[in-house]
Structure formats: C-alpha cells, structure tokens
A and B are shown apart, each in its own frame.
Chain A
Amino acid sequence: MNYKLDGLNLVVVFSDTGKHAIEINELTNLFTKEAPAIFWDNQIPTSPGIISYQISGFDISIFENRYQIQSKAIDGDIPSYFQKTLKKALLAAKTRYAIAYGFNFYFSYKESREVKDIFNITIRPTSFSYQPATFLKLTFKKEDALFIIEVSDGKPALGVHINIHHDENLVLEVLAEKIEEKLSNDFEATKQLLSEVFGIAK
C-alpha cells in the first residue's frame, strides 16, 4: 500500500496571545523568489495574522494563541528547505513561551480503500450497511509524545492525518534550536507507527 505525504505543519501553542512579539519583518523574506501575501494587523494584537507564500505553498499563521507554520509536501516528502525555514519562523517569536507544540502530517493513499477494509471490519450485509466517508481516530503514546491518528475515506483517496502532540513548556528560542531534530524524529516515528498500525511499508 503506497502512501504519499501531502503536507505538514507545526502548531505552537503560546501561553498567551503572542502576536505582538512576533517579528513580522523576519517572516516576509523567507523565500528570495517570492513575495508573500500578508494579512497582519499590528494595531490589534489579538487579531489573527497570515503570511502566505502561495507559489511555494508555505504559510505562517497565528490565530489566538496558536502559531502555525505549514508547507505542502514536494514529491511526497518534506521539502528540503522546510527545516531551516521552520527554524527562522520560530526565531521570529523567540521570546514567547510555548505550553505545547505538535506536528501534523497529512498522507494520502493511491489505492482507494475504505477504513473498514484496513481494519478488516466485516458485517453481515443483511444487518447494517457501510456508510462511506467514515472517520476513525486512534491515540498512541511514545515517551512524552501523544500520537493521534485520524483515518478517513471517501475523499478522492483514503487520507491519514497524524498529530504528534508534545506537552512541554519552553521558550521558542530553545524550541527553534532543536526543531530540526524533533521534526526528523517525529517523522520517523510517524512512519514506524503507520507501518505498525496499517501493516504497510513504503
């Protein structure tokens, strides 16, 4: 069963609304070949903000106390520039405190299978009928991280979303320093979990 990474993001939960302390100037020149679309009102610190590199498929947003850095995947993998750009985006808010952070990975499967097939759920056709667009959620734990898997079918292909949640208090400058390693570890753990849960190998 072949799976492909469609996109990923990092969500950082601030201890309070941290928009006012984000150095927006450091977020507007992350890509030399593209100028971003900016929706960012500095006059209202509690209002949301978005910096969107539409061609590169890279977006930074803040809604309430959630700072989100996301990118679409390239050739089914994490873009090569993502780690460094992620670090820069975190350093733009280096003085803020995070109370939690987590990665979200979004996969799709070429083979259009239904959720019930993956887990061999069989029911007598005379008793109940299966409804497509089913959604299933599973939770796992490894060391200090919580892995939440959401499997859904019916949208052109089967989709799997994995959230790796870290409940950790730290300043963003510290998080920025170790984010590359965290991303690499979490992505590897995600692939391992996918293999174990679905019995699949890329």
Chain B
Amino acid sequence: MLSKGTYEEIEGFKSTNVGELQTGHDLKKRYEENKVLEEIIKKIEKRYLKIEQEYKKVFGGKFFEETYQQLSSSKEVINMDWQEKYLDKLDQNITEMKQSLRDTENRIAQMINQTLSEIRDRDNQRHQEFLHINQKVDYFTNSVDKKIDEIRKEIKEDRKWIIGIAVTTILGVAAMVITVLLK
C-alpha cells in the first residue's frame, strides 16, 4: 500500500525513479565514482578511530564510556534517540562530504576549462603572430626576388654594352693596322 501519496514524499530513501536510461558505460562510471567515495569514507573512519583512541588515551577511556553509560542508563528511547541522532549526523556528514566533493570536482572542471581556454587563446595569438611573420617573410622574399631580377636585367644590359664596346675597339684597332700596312 502507498503510505505516502505524492512524489515529494517518496523521494529519497524509497524512490525507484531513475531519471535517465543508463548505459553500461554510465553504470561503470558511477561504480568508479562510488569506489572513490568509499576510499574517502574509509580514510575518514580511520581518522575518526584515531581521534577516538587519542581521546581515550587522554581521558582514560572515561569520556566515551561515561557518556554512553549515562545514555544507556536512561530510558531506551533516549538511547535509540542518540543512535538515530548519531546516524543522522553521520548521514549528514556523508551527504556534506559528497556535496563538497562534487563542488571540488566542479571547481577543478572549471579551472581546467579556464586553463584550456587560456591555452587556446594563447595558441590563437601565437598562430596570428606566426601568420603575420609569414606574411612579412613572403613580402621580404618577393622584394628580394624583385631586386635580384632587376640586378640581373642591369647586368644583362651592361654585358651587351661591354660586348659592343669590345667589338668596336677590335674593329678600330684592325682598321688602324690595315691602314698602317697599306701605307
């Protein structure tokens, strides 16, 4: 029988609602996340035990025992209440830890995104600079090529003049020699 009638009331511990169809991959991811959480909880429990031991060392084991005895000597209801409160507290701590982990995960994801974005921006900037330098080199190369072409052209022209002068000189000298011989 439905003891509670609305969606909000069955949300939580007894809910059977799974919002999205999970693939095997989704389940595996969830499994891995849970394993990480388990490790953290184990560490916290270990630390808690250590604190408890330290406390016992200082108070000679009296603090916890006395507190517990006081509670158990009272009515059973109080004892149950204590246990429930302890479990609630533990539950709350775990929930807070999970939330804190999620927040940390979000912060790390944000940092990664920001860093990636900066890297991308810098990369784009470097690319633009590279393109600019490339353009300059192209312009310089074209200019040098043009100059070389001009120099070649000038050398060609000069060569023509030199050959002309040389031929004229040879012909002049030959004419002079012939004139001398004929006389």
Q: Which residues of A contact B (CB under 8 A)?
A: 6-7, 9, 11-13, 37, 39, 44, 46-50, 52, 54, 57, 59, 61, 63, 65-66, 68, 70, 72, 99-104, 106, 137, 139, 141, 144-146, 148, 150, 161, 163, 165-168
User: Most chain-A Cβ atoms within 10 A of its Cβ — which of B3, B13, B16, B22?
Assistant: B16
Is A148 in contact with B17, judged by CB distance below 8 angstroms? yes
* Residues of A with C-beta under 8 A to B57: none
Q: Which residues of A contact B7 (CB under 8 A)?
A: 137, 139, 146, 148
Does chain A have a CB within 8 A of B178?
no
Bound-state CA distance A168–B16 (Å) is: 12
Q: Which of B25-33, B47-55, B137-145 has 4 or more CB atoms under 8 Å from chain A?
A: B25-33
Given the known inter-chain contacts A54-B24, A161-B19, please indicate yes or no for A146 contacting B31, CB distance below 8 A.
no
A53 to chain B, nearest CB (A): 8
A48 touches B2 (CB 8 A): no
User: Complex formed: what's the CA distance from A163 to B19 in Å?
Assistant: 8
| B35 touching A102, Cβ below 8 Å | no
Is the Cβ of B5 less than 8 Å from the Cβ of A146?
yes
Task: Give every chain B residue within 8 A of A48 (Cβ-Cβ).
Answer: 30-31, 34-35
A37 surroundings in chain B (CB, below 8 A): 24, 28
- Complex: how many Å from CA A178 to CA B14? 21
**Are A50 and B16 in contact (CB-based, < 8 A)?**
no
- Alpha-carbon separation in the docked complex, A52 to B28 (Å): 9
Contact A144-B1, Cβ < 8 Å, known A11-B16, A50-B27, A137-B7: yes
A102→B34 contact, CB < 8 A: no
With A and B bound together, what is the CA distance between A168 and B4 in angstroms? 12
Residue of B nearest to A99 (CB): B14
Beyond A13-B13, A146-B10, A163-B17, 20 additional contacts (C-beta under 8 Å) are A11-B17, A13-B15, A52-B24, A54-B24, A57-B24, A59-B27, A61-B31, A66-B16, A68-B18, A99-B14, A100-B14, A100-B15, A102-B17, A103-B16, A104-B18, A141-B2, A146-B7, A161-B21, A163-B16, A165-B17
